[in-house]
Structure 1
């Protein structure tokens, strides 16, 4: 499967231009690390979808819902700041019963 296709498919799910998603994921044009960069975002969306049951709502959550435990920044903001691990840790804590 082509990296461009994966980028386009994920961008469509998040309702954002592929160029914006590439920038968010830290993917430089022609970069070889596309798959690794997108894997983290896919993991976040998969966890959010698993918890909510709806891919569309998970995408909206990713872009718009402030995370109180992360200073009110969204998952989108945190990923853009290179702090995707904080989003994954937050989702794991919520999954284990912590308050959102």
Structure 2
């Protein structure tokens, strides 16, 4: 059942927050996570203006960071069961492999690829 749930949830979440042009839409992502754009910016390690001003939200660095957050949430969503729970994990669950830093702290430090690697290892049967 978990495998079926995973296949059903993963594309839908990303399709909800990423436009047809491939741009992560901050208003969609913040609405899906039930947070303000300011909270989304903070959780992503971005300035508030990065997710509110059109010119800045399309900047490659902004888009890369928002995509990282969306992809991490997408990866853990099947395990957490809901978007609020997945976002709570992202923001508050200490990850022992990274000195008990949270995914949020790691993303803010530019280490999202480490989080994704960690989650890939867990998905393949590794240990936390």
Q: Same fold per TM (> 0.5)?
A: yes
Give the TM-score taking structure 2 as reference length: 0.64
Q: Is the 8 A contact 2:33 2:83 kept in 1?
A: no
Root-mean-square deviation (CA), in Å?
2.4
**How far is 1:26 from its partner?**
3.7
1:8 lines up with 2:36 in the alignment: no
Give yes or no for the alignment of 1:95 onto 2:114: no
> Whose radius of gyration is greater, 1 or 2?
2
The separation in 2 between residues aligned to 1:20 and 1:55, in whole angstroms, is 15
- List gaps (5 residues or longer) in structure 1: none
Residue 41 of structure 2 corresponds to residue 22 of structure 1: yes
**Offset of residue 13 of structure 1:** 3.8
Q: Conserved in 1, the CA contact under 8 Å of 2:75 and 2:119? A: yes
2:9 counterpart residue number:
none
Cα distance in 1 for partners of 2:76, 2:34 equals: 16
Q: Extract unaligned runs of 5+ from structure 2.
A: 1-18
Q: How many residue pairs align between the two structures?
A: 99
Structure 1's consecutive aligned runs of 4 or more residues displaced over 6 angstroms after TM superposition are: none
